[in-house]
Amino acid sequence: MPFDAPRSPDEIATRNRRLVANWLFFMCGMILVMVALGGATRLTGSGLSIMEWAPIRGILPPLSDAEWNRLYELYRTIPQYQLVNKGFGLEGFKEIFWLEWGHRFWGRLIGLAFVVPLAWLWWRGAVPRALMPRLLVLFLMGGLQGVVGWLMVASGFFPDSTAVSPYRLVVHLGLALVLYAALLWTGLQLLRTEPIVVPARVRLLARATVAAAALAILAGGFVAGLRAGLDYNTFPLMDGRLVPEGYGRLVPFWLNWTENVAAVQFNHRLLATATLLLALGALVAGWRSAARPVLGLLAGAVGVQYALGIATLVHVVPVGLGTLHQTMAVVVLTAALVALDRMRTRASTL
């Protein structure tokens, strides 16, 4: 076909779908980086260093000594400074400030990277008409994530509080992963080919793996929020017991799942182990099918994440390992969604 020959409508539609999908996958990459930055911010205690929510003015960092001192004086009024970092000086404040500022700045870049290409793709007519409402909802979800993030940070300013609320942290993390999953799934829909035919039990095991992984990630959010990884730093037993002493000490009982360090860490271990066993079971069940590569990818990702979790625990949650463990959760989610997409029951597209 000559270079300047007109394309057929089908060729144009295919090219546009690929263009939109690649943009959505790029957005997923940016959210992956955001999750990593969020993990590092939490583990270094940097998240409470900026006490103002200034979506526009906060784009620029402090540009004068007077502004640095003003922000430092604000930080000195909160419990984290009084109880944890008292006396660490302006230079110490700057160290934690830059990580939190970078985390927020990256969030602003995500918003920009969504709005500008979306407007351009819509103007070009590249976005399928049926997809536009979903993309607008995802944009609103991104804005909501910024609000939830600030509400999470604000919970760390309460009297006698030196960290953010575990509940708000889990909501913030969960919303980020829902947004990531929706973007990834939409991109996969745009590129769909014929699905892989597998026995129903393989598909069932894959779905169970996804459900267990999602619960394990949310449980990990409570581990992070309660800093539960700083206790029971042995594996597989917890202080010499399979089920730790005091698992159900809180009343009502359900509070143990979100506020009891022993129970929260045990549940995370249990759900992670279930995820690994289900992923391996799906791989074994689908070994002779064409789905073996995606099932192998899923089982491999879960295995790496499981090993990272153990290493993070026994080394008492160093920043590097803790950040990598949180980031790898997104990789597991990615592998799970790719596997489900390839083994779906029908070849639906947008």
- 229 with 127, same domain: the answer is no
147 to 55, 137, 153: CA distances (angstroms): 10, 15, 10
The span from the CA of 162 to the CA of 251, in Å, is 24
Residue 14 confidence (pLDDT): 86
Run of H or E including 248: none
- 184 with 202, same domain: the answer is no
**Residue 71: how many CB atoms within 10 A of its CB?**
20
What is the domain extent for residue 272?
A: 195-350
- 158 with 32, same domain: the answer is yes
- 208 with 288, same domain: the answer is yes
Residues with Cβ within 8 Å of 106's Cβ and at least 6 positions away in sequence, in order, are 30, 33, 34, 37
Tell me the pLDDT of the chain (350 aa) as tens digits: 444 455 788 788 889 999 999 999 999 999 999 999 999 999 998 999 998 888 888 899 999 999 999 999 999 999 999 888 888 899 999 999 999 999 999 999 999 999 999 999 999 999 998 999 999 999 999 999 999 999 999 998 888 788 899 999 999 999 999 999 999 999 999 998 788 889 999 999 999 999 999 999 999 999 999 999 999 999 999 999 999 999 999 999 999 999 999 999 999 999 999 999 999 999 999 999 999 999 999 999 999 999 999 999 999 999 999 999 999 999 999 999 999 999 987 655 66
- 199 with 269, same domain: the answer is yes
Q: Tokens standing for 28?
A: 């997923």
Give the type of residue at 23: W
Show the DSSP H helices in 125-199 as ranges. 132-154, 166-190
* DSSP structure class, residue 238: B
- 179 with 202, same domain: the answer is no
**Residue 244: how many CB atoms within 10 A of its CB?**
19
- 157 with 231, same domain: the answer is no
Residue 3 confidence (pLDDT): 47
- 340 with 258, same domain: the answer is yes
The span from the CA of 161 to the CA of 165, in Å, is 9
Residue 1 confidence (pLDDT): 43
The span from the CA of 332 to the CA of 11, in Å, is 33
Q: Tokens standing for 342?
A: 């390839």
Q: Is 2 within the bounds of a domain?
A: no
Helix 200-226, helix 166-190: angle, nearest 10: 150
Identify each DSSP E strand in the chain by its residue range. none
Q: What is the pTM of this model?
A: 0.93
CB 104 within 8 A of CB 51: no
Q: Is 3 within the bounds of a domain?
A: no
Domain boundary among 144, 163, 191: 191
Q: Tokens standing for 211?
A: 């459900």
Residue 140 confidence (pLDDT): 95
- 209 with 119, same domain: the answer is no
Number of domains in the chain: 2
Strand, helix or coil at 31? Answer: helix
The answer to whether the Cα torsion of 279, 208, 269, 298 is positive or negative is positive
Q: Which residues of 254-284 are buried (b: 16+ CB within 10 A; e: fewer)?
A: eebebebbbbbbbbbbebbebbbebbbbbbe
- 31 with 167, same domain: the answer is yes
The span from the CA of 45 to the CA of 336, in Å, is 31
- 178 with 217, same domain: the answer is no
